[in-house]
Amino acid sequence: MSNDDRITLECKELTKTYFSTEPPAKVLHGIDLAVRTGEFLVVMGASGSGKSTLLYSISGMDRPTTGSVLLEGRELTSLDDAEMSRVRLTRMGFIFQQAYFLSNLNIQDNILLPALKAAPGDRDAVVERVDALMERFGIGHVKRHGVTQVSGGQLQRASICRALAGRPAVLFADEPTGALNSSMSAEVMNALTDVHGDGATIVMVTHDPACAARAERVVFLRDGLLVDTREQGAWTAETAKQREDDLFSWLSSNGF
């Protein structure tokens, strides 16, 4: 959607080795990747190829072993834990395969939590923004519900609201539809596409070609290395079927 060529997020020669195992697990072997501002990027690859690791490493959840990560020009690898948390709080949003929520807060409070933490003095504005987001993604009526009272699709849309509430520079999603059936999956992907339409930068990991078809660019990861990239332009509902087929054959050629 965006033809902006500025770079929001960039990693260079990123490697990650987990030392908790014996022998240490070398997962990423040197990744160079730049995410353009407003871009919808999808990472694909076989199970265990290191997709999640890449996502966690560039978002500062895990500390990269070597290499650098730049967010809006700022080096992240040299930040300490508190600074990195601050960056996640104010500049990043996360959506996971499972919708992790605090069961002792209602849906609205769960969404408010990080935004309130980021701007404690701005409560009314934050509440207003969150309410608007919830209405927009069709969960305005379950605000006061408990986590166990809503469907998986609603929960995942709540995740999106929570990720967006802090107005992040980049949205990370790790298989956001992995635990959903196809209709709920479509609900969530529509929401993400919508968000992207507003100019959000999205980095998403997925196994599902139908989801990946929504992205502007797909990169393919194999054994910790980026082996292929596919630019596929902006998604429209009309071209959806065609894009999926094309993507599928590209994936097949990569041995997916």
Partner 1 sequence: MSLHAPESWSFTVTIRDSIALRYSYNDLTRNKGVNLALIVILVFSAFLMATGSMVIERVLSSMDQFFDEARPPHFLQMHKGAYDRAELERFASEHPEIDAWLIEEMLGYDSAAIAWERSSTGEGGDLADSLIDNLFVTQNAEFDFLLDENGSIPRPDAGEVYVPVAYREQFGIEVGDLLRVQTAEGVQELRVEGFVRDSQMASSLSQSTRFLISEDDFAAMSAAGGAIPEIIVEYRLTDTSLVQDFQTAYESDDALPKNGESVPYQLLRIVNALSDGLVAAALMFASLLLVAIALLNARFVIRGTLEDEVRQIGAMKAIGLPNRTISGLYLAKYRAMTFLACVVGGLLAIAAAQMLTRTVQVDYGAAEVDLVSVLVPVLALAFVYVFVIAICRRVFGKIRRIEVVNALVHGSTLDDRQTARRAAREVKRVRRTSLAAFGGGNLNRRLALLDLRAEARQWVLIPIVMFLAAVLMTLPMNLLSTLSDPAFVTFMGSPESDLRADLEFSEDVDAVHGDLLAAMSADEGLENVRAFANVLYETEGEEGWEVLRVDVGDFSSAAMPFIEGGPPGTGEIALSVMNAEKYGLATGDEILVRLDGEPSNLTVSGVYQDITGGGLSAKMQGEVDAGAASYTVFADTAAGADTAELVAEYADAFPSAKVTPMREFMEQTLSYVTDAVRNAALLTFAFGLGVALVITSLFLKLRLTRDRQKMGMLSAVGFSTNELIAQVRGKTLAAVVVGTVLGSVFAATGGESVAGSLLALAGLGIVDLEFLPNPWLVYLAYPLLLISAGYLGAVFLTSRLRGADKSSWLRG
Burial 213-240 (b: 16+ CB within 10 A, else e): bbbbbbbbbbebebeeebebeebeeeee
Q: Which residues on adjacent β-strands are paired with residue 172?
A: 94, 203
3 binds, among partner 1, Mg ion, ligand ATP, none (CB under 5 to 8 A by kind): none
Backbone angles phi, psi at 231, to 5 degrees: -90, 130
Size of the site for ligand ATP (CB under 6 A): 13
Q: What is the DSSP letter of 112?
A: H
The least CB distance from residue 56 to ligand ATP, in Å, is 8
Residues 4, 32, 34, 48: which binds ligand ATP (CB under 6 A)?
A: 48
Sign of CA dihedral 169, 175, 179, 182: positive
In the region spanning residues 15 to 44, those forming contacts with ligand ATP, defined by CB under 6 A, are 18, 20-21, 25, 27
Residues 46, 89, 225, 234: which binds partner 1 (CB under 8 A)?
A: 89
- For position 95 contacting ligand ATP by CB under 6 A, the verdict is no
Q: Which residues on adjacent β-strands are paired with residue 43?
A: 205, 219
Stretch that binds partner 1, among 40-48, 60-68, 199-207, 208-216 (CB under 8 A): 60-68
- For position 246 contacting partner 1 by CB under 8 A, the verdict is no
- For position 77 contacting partner 1 by CB under 8 A, the verdict is no
End-to-end CA distance of the chain: 27
Residues 38, 45, 168, 209: which binds ligand ATP (CB under 6 A)?
A: 45
3-state helix, strand, coil in the chain (%, to 5): 40, 25, 35
Residues 7, 105, 119, 179: which binds partner 1 (CB under 8 A)?
A: 105
**CB proximity list for 12: less than 8 A, separation 6 or greater:** 32, 67, 68, 70
In the region spanning residues 126 to 185, those forming contacts with ligand ATP, defined by CB under 6 A, are none
Q: Please report how the helices 152-165 and 123-136 are oriented relative to each other, as an axis angle in degrees rounded to 10.
A: 140
Residues in the chain, total = 256
Residues 8, 17, 52, 177: which binds Mg ion (CB under 5 A)?
A: 52
In the region spanning residues 122 to 141, those forming contacts with partner 1, defined by CB under 8 A, are 123, 127
86 binds, among ligand ATP, Mg ion, partner 1, none (CB under 5 to 8 A by kind): partner 1
Q: What is the DSSP letter of 201?
A: -
Q: Which residues bind partner 1 (CB under 8 A)?
A: 18, 20, 52-53, 56, 59, 61-63, 81-82, 84-86, 88-90, 92, 94, 96, 98, 100-106, 108-109, 112-114, 116-118, 120, 123, 127, 144-149, 162, 166
